[in-house]
Chains A and B, each alone.
Chain A
Amino acid sequence: MRNSTAAPDRVRGRHRTAVRRGAWWQALLLALVTGFAMTGCAASADETKDEIVVAIVSNPQMQDAMELQDEFAKAHPDVNVKFVSLPENEARAKITASVATGGGEFDVVMISNYETPIWAENGWIENLQPYIDKTEGYDDQDFIGSIRNALSYEDDMYSVPFYGESSFLVYNEEMFEKAGVTMPENPTWPEINELAAKLDDPDNGVSGICLRGLAGWGEVMAPLSTVMNTYGGGWFDEDWNPTLTSPETKQAVNEYVNLVREHGQPGAATSGYGDCITRYSQGNAAMWYDATAMVSSIEDPASSTVAGKNGYAPAPVMDTEDAGWLYSWSLAIPSTSDHKDAAWDFVSWMTNKEYIKLVGERFGWERVPPGSRYSTYEVPEYREISQAYAQPTLDAMDGASQESSMTHPVPYEGLQFVAIPEFQDLGTRVGQQISAAVAGQITVDEALEQSQAYAEQVARTYQREEGQ
């Protein structure tokens, strides 16, 4: 009897629990669905406005552009801009993945003169020439010639420069005076070697020179490739034969590696552009050969103890007239973008003459993005603050051509890189070998033998193409 009454109770209890459980699951499901729906609504709430997503490299000048968004919003109230800002390596990987697979997250991407011609050929980015031509006062002839060429494919621009750079040598005038030495007007690498030996003072924490040693095609391989070029060496000869073990390349790499090992900064094998900024701007290096864009860091009194104490010399040479590199961060519109007109509104705003003025007036003239337009160098305020480095920068950029920086013709575009898709990987692997030589783990000859083997794999593809 007792059992029979207890059983229905138990069943009811179980039933109640199940109902309660069910309600609970339903509530959770409802919450999730609402969540999904809400994110969907948020995305489509502002339908009257064009929303564009801009992927940029988080360098100081780009961060300034993000801060000036209110100005763009004033001029284009119908365009809403969202930024994705990442360091160079992450940005490059993400942008490449997105553009190459048609991921379509971005309406504007920041790329360089390495990607532009390759991506234009693949049809991944829009031809900007029609947009440029119909935008009044944009003046693309004002872009620095070498940069404009580097960002063009079949005479049309596929990306427009936000800033451009070449390479030159900065030196600390106080240290030179104290040591009683002077910088030649057009220094050669052996002369730099001698100077570095005299200025090297490890006891006081000062190295003769700072040179990149960090593995990576955008790190050690950038300055080193320009040294290889001026010594008559390089990556490939005219028939795509790798020349990484040629006597000229060997001499150049030996010179570079020995210089940085004997008179360079401590721990050079893990030291790149960022580390050299810190060392040089804190007075821990007497010379530094690197990007002209360095001036915005080392001439900024807020973060540099050597601001105003620097002299600038052209990139050291050997057998050529010039030896600098050419690089540009530029803006392009992926072909997958659904808001191309709004994207161009933004791109043209960030790369026109007015923008330079806006930055100068709002943040100070030392912070304008340099090396994109000739007109920047005609602004009196900019001329005044950039006396020491404006002309060296312009000269370096104008001189940055294969004709004046290499001893022989090559079958590829680029000075400090080879503009082929395989180069990111090849450059990084060769960079690892060089970095190991800088660390003293292997000899320069060993590093170059291995590098030559890597380059031969890549070369085969192109030799086959030429042969057809």
Chain B
Amino acid sequence: MSTTVQTQTPSAETSEPPVRRKRKGGGAGSAALTLFTWLLALGFFMPVLWMVLTSFKQEADAASNPPKFFFTPTLDQYKAVFEAGAGGYLWNSVIATVVSTILVILLAIPAAYAVSIRPVEKTKDVLFFFISTKMLPVVAVIMPIYVVAGKLKVLDNIWTLVFLYTAMNLPLAVWMMRSFFQEVPREVLEAAQMDGASLMTTMRVVLIPMVAPGIASTALICVIFAWNEFFFALNLTAADAATVPIMLVSTMTSEGLYLARLSAASVLASLPVVLAGWIAQKQLVRGLSMGAIK
């Protein structure tokens, strides 16, 4: 709401009366628009709110029809989720997500440099090759991957997931970073070179700080994809390396009620991603306000 008002103010300086009239005339309309926006936002937020509410219910309350808005809240479901070993799942997810994201960023920065700032030969082919690895659906390759992992004795090993998530996110990260790198003015890099900075120093001192917001958003995407990844985790892990999405699905059952417990597990599962998004958002905003890239 406040942003719409703010975006109108600059033009108000140049021709005040017409804009005012416009604002006045749009009063009813903008109120309706505001109301509509709120309704839309609430509509989208409702499932999340409902999930949080349900996580504090008993199973019978969660299954009742018509749905219950008022109930005695309980922490039983959270207790049950932790007793079922949520800690282990969370730890595995943290390792798989954090390590794979670090690896992706470390590998994607030089790769993106090589396809944007100092293009290697046949850059387009290279880029196409990167993205072509995402074209085959995962389900089509799961059986060979499973058999190979079985033969190498790395089934149910968290480092297998780290490896796969790195491979899964790398092409996307290279593409994203390339577009950020391309926006960096060449003059800045040339100036650094003129001052005698080596390639490494140019990257570390000049380039990376300039594209920090880009790195942050790429890392966020990688974190989200790795954290939510279900298919590899389901097929390649068992007791030791299972991640959070597996915890969610293991609270479901085809016999009996499970909605409240699933909701509690879902809230726990989404908290770290929300947190990561929040942290990266601050980074993004700061990066933009620095004004290095416009």
Residue among A57, A59, A89, A303 with the highest chain B CB neighbour number at 10 A: A303
How distant is the Cα of A13 from the Cα of B197 in the complex, in angstroms?
A: 9
Interface stretch (choices B46-54, B56-64, B210-218) = B56-64
Residue contact A84 to B238, C-beta cutoff 8 Å: yes
The smallest beta-carbon distance between B114 and chain A, in angstroms, is: 17
The smallest beta-carbon distance between A137 and chain B, in angstroms, is: 30
Q: A205 interface residue, CB < 8 Å from B?
A: yes
8 shortest A-B CB distances, which residue pairs? A82-B239, A105-B238, A14-B198, A60-B256, A59-B255, A103-B150, A88-B254, A87-B252
Contacts of B146 in A (CB 8 A): 97, 101, 103
A residues within 8 Å of B by Cβ?
6, 10, 13-14, 17-18, 21, 28, 32, 35-36, 39, 43, 53, 55, 57-60, 63, 66, 82-90, 94, 97, 101-106, 205, 272-274, 277-279, 281-282, 284, 293, 296-297, 302-304
Residue contact B150 to A277, C-beta cutoff 8 Å: no
The smallest beta-carbon distance between A457 and chain B, in angstroms, is: 22
Residue among B58, B200, B240 with the highest chain A CB neighbour number at 10 A: B240
Residue contact B65 to A277, C-beta cutoff 8 Å: no
Residue contact B240 to A274, C-beta cutoff 8 Å: no
14 A-B pairs with CB atoms under 8 Å apart are: A32-B99, A39-B158, A53-B238, A57-B254, A60-B253, A86-B246, A97-B146, A102-B150, A103-B146, A105-B239, A205-B65, A284-B65, A303-B60, A303-B63
Contact A278/B65 with A60-B255, A97-B235 known, Cβ cut-off 8 Å? yes
The smallest beta-carbon distance between A421 and chain B, in angstroms, is: 16
| Inter-chain contact total with CB atoms closer than 8 Å | 120
A101 and chain B: residue at smallest CB distance: B147
B255 and chain A: residue at smallest CB distance: A59
Q: B133 interface residue, CB < 8 Å from A?
A: no
The smallest beta-carbon distance between B231 and chain A, in angstroms, is: 11
How distant is the Cα of A21 from the Cα of B147 in the complex, in angstroms?
A: 37
How distant is the Cα of A83 from the Cα of B239 in the complex, in angstroms?
A: 6
Interface residues of B in 69-120 (CB under 8 A from A): 84, 95, 99, 106
Contacts of B64 in A (CB 8 A): 282
Chain B residues bordering chain A, tally (CB within 8 A): 40
Contacts of A17 in B (CB 8 A): 198, 200-201, 204
A279 and chain B: residue at smallest CB distance: B65
How distant is the Cα of A85 from the Cα of B255 in the complex, in angstroms?
A: 14
Residue contact A85 to B250, C-beta cutoff 8 Å: yes
B residues within 8 Å of A by Cβ?
58-60, 63-65, 84, 95, 99, 106, 143, 146-147, 150, 155-159, 196, 198, 200-201, 204, 234-235, 238-240, 242, 246, 249-257
Residue contact B253 to A59, C-beta cutoff 8 Å: yes
The smallest beta-carbon distance between B233 and chain A, in angstroms, is: 11
A305 and chain B: residue at smallest CB distance: B60
Contact of B155 among A10, A13, A103 (CB under 8 A): A103
Contacts of A32 in B (CB 8 A): 99
Contacts of A104 in B (CB 8 A): 150, 155
Contacts of B60 in A (CB 8 A): 302-304
Contact of B249 among A39, A83, A87, A279 (CB under 8 A): A87
Contact A14/B200 with A87-B252, A94-B235, A101-B146 known, Cβ cut-off 8 Å? yes
A24 and chain B: residue at smallest CB distance: B106
Contact of B250 among A58, A105, A303 (CB under 8 A): A58
Additional A-B contact list (14), CB under 8 Å, known A87-B252, A106-B238: A17-B200, A53-B238, A58-B250, A82-B238, A84-B250, A86-B234, A86-B246, A101-B147, A102-B150, A105-B239, A278-B257, A279-B65, A282-B64, A303-B256
Contacts of A205 in B (CB 8 A): 65
The smallest beta-carbon distance between A2 and chain B, in angstroms, is: 12
Contacts of A277 in B (CB 8 A): 255-257
Contact of A105 among B59, B106, B156, B158 (CB under 8 A): B156
Contacts of A103 in B (CB 8 A): 146, 150, 155
The smallest beta-carbon distance between B281 and chain A, in angstroms, is: 27
Contacts of A35 in B (CB 8 A): 95, 99, 159
Residue among B84, B158, B201, B257 with the highest chain A CB neighbour number at 10 A: B257
Contacts of A63 in B (CB 8 A): 253
Contacts of A28 in B (CB 8 A): 106
